[in-house]
Structure 1
Amino acid sequence: MEQPKGFVDSAFPTHVCKLNKALYGLKQAPRAWFHRLSSFLVTYGFTCSRADTSLFVFRKDDCLMYLLVYVDDLILTGNKPIMLTNFITRLHNEFAIKDLGSLNYFLGLEVVHTDDGLFLSQCKYAHDILSRAGLLETKLVPTPLATTDTFVSTGSPFSDPTLYRSLVGALQYLTITRPDHSYAVNQASQFLHAPTDQHFQSVKRILRYVKGTMSYGLIFKRSKRTTILGYSDADWAQCIETRRSTYGYSIFLGGNLVSWSAKKQPTVSRSSCESEYRAMANTAAEIIWVTHLLRELHALPSDRPTLLCDNRSALFMTQNPVSHKRAKHIDLDYHFVWELVMSGKLYTRFVPTKLQLADIFTKSLPRSQFQHFRTLLRVGSLPFRLRGDDRIKDNSTNQAND
């Protein structure tokens, strides 16, 4: 700290104000810290990603390092252990940091390293949510929502809206590793301003589902084929009160789920084709962002991305410019899908409804179909257990031996 120019006390030029408040409490502290850290990283040779400003990439010859920043928590990985060690040493010299070793816990996410990949879960976080709601001993249900559940604004107001908002907000963060209940949480989030007793009962059902699948998470496996594959779907005019459609998508890289979403469309669609086409446009935009990120990571697949849709009319619109004359009421922003297809940057293809994985993000599904799609999303429990220092053993093998 120093006295501002023009207001320097000639009698005490080195005196400054005593800071009674921690730097963490100052509004400019996060910006100042990120500027300090990013300046050091850029000087070292890192470049800031344009797709994700919290990601820094270092490349020199055949050496690659990725550094992800969340305030003062850092994740560092690379393909050259010696370079990683040298960089960590430089970090130690520049900042007062603590090396926690191999990644196993980060912002509530639990990371388990397996022989062929990673397993991400939020078991402890889910337990904390259930404890807060007082549902640790609740009965279990097989799906987050019943097929007959509907969300409407009518009904008796819930007595504790703050509790409702707190639980739904916590469930939103839980969807980072649990995409299987994204649709249910999205429906509950639309009534945060005025929840009813029926809405709270639906939230309790979601929590009962979480209780039965607390150990579930996302499974990532190594794959030689790294094709980008996207599924897009929309449930036309699903909302009874506004007649707006709910759309969802899931994007895979090498068979691993890397991006997904379940949202209500901001405008009313006049046909199922229009709602599906708008959903494809949003999915295409996300796919383009994923390709930009992979390009900066120097890991972009050579094959062009594929977008799958179960609506033939919407699929036809992406491949035939003549049909656009019948869709002038659709905002022009959504017609960039056709341009991506024509330029060879995107390939669209039909997928049967029974194989449409994005269905799990647009509606409540029967138990068997829901569990099938959940498995295809690679959401499940850890398929092995650890016993002391022994090697990882598959549960099925252990059961067979028993």
Structure 2
Amino acid sequence: MTTRSKSGIFKPRHIADLAIAASSSLHHALLVAKDPKGYKTASKHSKWVIAMQEEVDALHINNTWVLVPRPTNANVVGSKWVYRTKYKSDGTVDRYKARLVAQGFTQIPGLDYFLTFSPVVKASTVRIVLALAIINNWHLHQLDVKNAFLNGTLTETVYMEQPPGFINPSAPHHVCLLKKALYGLKQAPRAWFQRLSSFLVSIGFVCSRADTSLFVFKRSSIVLYVLVYVDDIILTGNDEKVIQKFINRLYQEFAITDLGPLNYFLGLEVTYTPNGLFLSQAKYAYDILSRAGLLDAKPVGTPLNTTELFTTHGTPFHDPTMYRSLVGALQYLTITRPDLSYAVNQASQFLQTPTTTHFQLVKRILRYVKGTISYGLTFDKPTQTRLVGYSDADWARCIETRRSTYGYSIYLGGNLVSWSAKKQPTVSRSSCESEYRAMANAAAEIIWITHLLRELHALPLTQPTILCDNRSALFLSQNPVSHKRAKHIDIDYHFIRELVSSGLLHTKYVPTKRQVADIFTKSLPRPKFEQFRGMLRVGPPPLRLKGGNSP
């Protein structure tokens, strides 16, 4: 036998990952050319000069500001250019974007701004709307608002310096009195959302009370859903003609770009299959691995080792900022990867003072991501629409605080729409108590989902069900018992009894070997982990994909 060592080859062997090999070289080449950091660098390249001119033209057309003499007793906010190369989901360049932003950190609270809060759509709401679109065979449309924040009207008086490189030669010492909101201002997101929500309400939409970034239009048999995430909009409904009329109405009010069928939304890649769609974050996962320098790491089968227990003791990690950055990125990756939830939750508990052991935990998670980089959530058309939740808890999992870890997963028509993996805020005196508290948290999420589905006019006829593998907790939820081991449990956890007794919720026993929520409470051996991962409908892309542009 001729081996590598006998042939004098001692370099490590790199096995290509076919799931990303096609786009890795291209994406690596794109990362080499970094975006400029300031105006002086950008002004040397024609592509950025054109992008800046387009931005300034759009600001003038929108009447964003008027030039006025510099005030003597008012604060003047700084301005700067921000440059970003926009990529498509396959890693190719989409466009070059130059954005003029206000330096919001120079604003004075109570003078330049007051209220700043602006809601964004919840990830669970997005998955629920996607599941309903698959159930009803509706098309998903994606819209983008050009310079969205410029549509917001300011109620405060804000002065800003003229844009670098575009100072008016006839009035070089004047400043911009802002009439419209600008990116970077503290109140800009709120002003834009108020402008958009007011318009949608004026044409017949109703703002959801369960999620204020969701708007529903219902007239006779026509139903439309609009999801808003800052300047990205998802639109679906049961009447394509009405949807097109609504898009045309938006054209008249805002500068809208119709991106066609939903394809790439907030880093989520949507691929259509014959029976539904596949939701993944492969490009985002690749970016995380590239940032961590683990593109060539050896993959592992599970995100955590079953024998590892994490404490606050150990050698402090030399770069806590890097640790927090990677964990934050992994938290966003869990939008389509529930199999990472427990491991990421463990890593998130040590953000304050991470140790080298904790960083090894993060590296193992990333090695698992490396081997499953193309994995995502599958949404299929169900045979029946039911709301089912799995609830589980691992008693006294934390060896330092002895608090329990709980988790739940909720399915709508067999499609996973919501899940959680968290440490309970208080210590439980028994496994029954920890399981009972976990059921109460799962029930609260199910009730929120039922409120949302009722507003979407899609509430299933059957009552929702919670499946638990602890008979004592089930008995406690179904019977108003008074026991010395349960009398100290907070009253707010007992609301699950009222739900069960009133017929709004059904609780049922499930064997531990079928308790899929177990994956959110502890690290599991590989066979059991892969079994529950499959039950979560997490896996590689289905075969025979149609492509992202086919509805």
Establish whether TM, by shorter chain, passes 0.5.
Answer: yes
Cα deviation digits, residues 123-170 of structure 1 (max 9, x gap): 000000000000001001000001011111111000111110000000
Q: Indicate which of 295, 303, 311 corresponds to 1:144.
A: 303
- Does residue 127 (structure 1) correspond to residue 127 (structure 2)? The answer is no
CA distance in 2, matches of 1:322, 1:210: 46
Q: Within 5 Å, which residues of 2 pair with 1:313-328?
A: 313-323=472-482, 326-328=485-487
- Are the equivalent residues in 2 in contact too, given 1:317–1:324 (CA < 8 A)? no
Q: Which amino acid aligns with 1:81?
A: E
- Does residue 364 (structure 1) correspond to residue 540 (structure 2)? The answer is no
CA distance in 2, matches of 1:199, 1:243: 19
Cα deviation digits, residues 96-133 of structure 1 (max 9, x gap): 11110000000000001112111100000000000000
CA change 1:388–1:316 in 2 (3 A) is closer
CA change 1:235–1:387 in 2 (3 A) is closer
The residue aligned with 1:334 is: 493
The residue aligned with 1:397 is: none
The residue aligned with 2:176 is: 18
Q: Indicate which of 219, 225, 230 corresponds to 1:60.
A: 219
- Does residue 196 (structure 1) correspond to residue 355 (structure 2)? The answer is yes
CA distance in 1, matches of 2:464, 2:229: 30
Q: Which amino acid aligns with 1:334?
A: Y
- Are the equivalent residues in 1 in contact too, given 2:273–2:546 (CA < 8 A)? no
- Are the equivalent residues in 2 in contact too, given 1:155–1:197 (CA < 8 A)? yes
Cα deviation digits, residues 9-58 of structure 1 (max 9, x gap): xxxxxxx9624897112222111111111111011110000110000000
The structure that has the greater radius of gyration is 2
Aligned-residue offset at 1:324: 5.4
The residue aligned with 1:381 is: 540
- Does residue 80 (structure 1) correspond to residue 243 (structure 2)? The answer is no
Q: Indicate which of 143, 152, 157 corresponds to 2:316.
A: 157
CA distance in 1, matches of 2:210, 2:275: 28
Aligned-residue offset at 1:310: 0.6
- Are the equivalent residues in 1 in contact too, given 2:271–2:545 (CA < 8 A)? no
CA distance in 2, matches of 1:162, 1:371: 32
Q: Indicate which of 429, 432, 437 corresponds to 1:278.
A: 437
The residue aligned with 1:309 is: 468
- Does residue 253 (structure 1) correspond to residue 412 (structure 2)? The answer is yes
Count of aligned pairs between the two proteins:
382
The structure in which a higher percent of residues are helix is: 1
Aligned-residue offset at 1:386: 4.7
SS in 2 for 1:88: helix
Q: Which amino acid aligns with 2:210?
A: A
Q: Indicate which of 107, 117, 130 corresponds to 2:266.
A: 107
Aligned-residue offset at 1:382: 1.1
Structure 1: 5+ residue stretches without partners = 8-15, 392-402
CA distance in 1, matches of 2:311, 2:235: 46
Aligned-residue offset at 1:383: 1.4
Q: Which amino acid aligns with 2:491?
A: L
- Does residue 243 (structure 1) correspond to residue 402 (structure 2)? The answer is yes
The residue aligned with 1:11 is: none
Bigger drift between 329-338 and 319-328 goes to 319-328
The residue aligned with 1:394 is: none
Q: Which amino acid aligns with 2:518?
A: D
The residue aligned with 2:35 is: none
Aligned-residue offset at 1:224: 2.9
The residue aligned with 1:181 is: 340
Q: Indicate which of 189, 199, 224 corresponds to 2:383.
A: 224
SS in 2 for 1:36: helix
TM-score of the two chains, using structure 2 as the length reference: 0.67
Q: Percent identity?
A: 73
CA distance in 1, matches of 2:546, 2:214: 36
CA distance in 1, matches of 2:546, 2:261: 19
- Are the equivalent residues in 2 in contact too, given 1:119–1:219 (CA < 8 A)? yes
